[in-house]
Amino acid sequence: MSARALITVALLAAACDPELPQQTSRIDAPRVLAVIATPAEAAPGAAVDYTAVVATPDGPVAAPALAWSYCTAPKPPTEDNIVPAACVDDPAALVAIAATATLPTAACRTYGPDLGTTGARPRDPDPSGGYYQPVRVDLAGAPLTFGLHRLACNLADAPPAIVRDFRLRYRANLHPTLASLALAAGATTVAPDATATLVATWPADAAEPYVIYDRAVVAVVDRREALRVGWFATDGALAADATGVAADDPATATTVTWTAPSMPGLVHLWAVLHDDRGGVATATIAVDVR
């Protein structure tokens, strides 16, 4: 599999383009659906815990056998992928870690705005002002997956007054919460080939306010997170791989249409909730088709 294809898988685990690739919702082989870092945002040198949500055609895996590693290779400016190709192809770019680890002390130089010894220009943040440490997850029989752990880095090229204002107003990201995942009207069984509505809901405070440094106007600007849900199923057909709400939308739910398979059996469905800053929450249910 190419580096580009592998990195497409990584988009499931971090705050990136809200449009997930098409035809990704069917679970027909083991797959890591999400990488969840605790805390959701941390400074280099901080102690962190990682967990992975693993789906298989038979349902969730409670204790998957995973191999974790940090990528330490900087991303060349000529590469478009969100994760450097070296993280996929070069073992020398990887540092093996346990599920409890310490963020590399050089993370904000390698992947953030801090200037390294080369004197190169600082890296650009994502639209939420964030920088991310790639976390590689290897699972036997599954596509290679990367989580992106949001880094707490200093501002780059900001006037002292802006730096002070940003530090006073910025709050580190927290993971959102999924309040429920269910079929509409609380159904737990559906008929073969029937169409049902799958509903994911979250608390009103799941979309957090935050601030970014807007270089265009040289000011600290208020923002609010958008929320999006990636949908997955072991059988049947989902009408969309992802749905969600915009930052200015106060809605606390999103829905997708699911068509049950023709054959009876137990179907597992997942919702993976993402916020704009790398936060993740997941939920799963089982539906009896009969």
Residues 123-167 have pLDDT tens digits of 789 999 999 999 999 999 999 999 999 999 999 889 999 999 999
pLDDT at 5 over 50: no
Question: Can you give the pLDDT at residue 19?
Answer: 35
Q: Write the Ramachandran bin of 219: left for phi over 0, alpha for psi from -120 to 50, otherwise beta.
A: beta
pLDDT at 13 over 60: no
> Cα separation of 168 and 112, whole Å?
20
pLDDT at 290 over 70: yes
- Using DSSP bridges, classify how beta strands 59-60 and 94-97 pair: parallel, antiparallel or unpaired: unpaired
- Give residue 199's domain range: 3-289
Provide the CATH number for the domain around residue 189. Answer: 2.60.40.10
Question: Can you give the pLDDT at residue 20?
Answer: 33
Q: What is the mean pLDDT of residues 110-127?
A: 74
Q: What is the mean pLDDT of residues 219-247?
A: 97
Query: Which of these ranges, 4-18, 223-237, 266-280, has the smallest mean pLDDT?
Result: 4-18
Question: Can you give the pLDDT at residue 120?
Answer: 53
Total-model pTM: 0.90
Q: Which residues contact 194 (CB under 8 A, 6 or more apart)?
A: 259, 260
Query: Which of these ranges, 11-20, 25-34, 75-84, has the smallest mean pLDDT?
Result: 11-20
Place of tokens 């997956």: 145
pLDDT at 1 over 80: no
Question: Can you give the pLDDT at residue 118?
Answer: 47
Place of tokens 């752990």: 149
Tell me the CA distances in angstroms from 222 to 66, 169, 275, one per residue in order: 39, 9, 16
Query: Quick one: what percent of the chain has pLDDT higher than 90?
Result: 79
Contact 170, 154 (CB under 8 A): no
The total number of structural domains that make up the chain: 1
Backbone angles phi, psi at 214, to 5 degrees: -90, 105
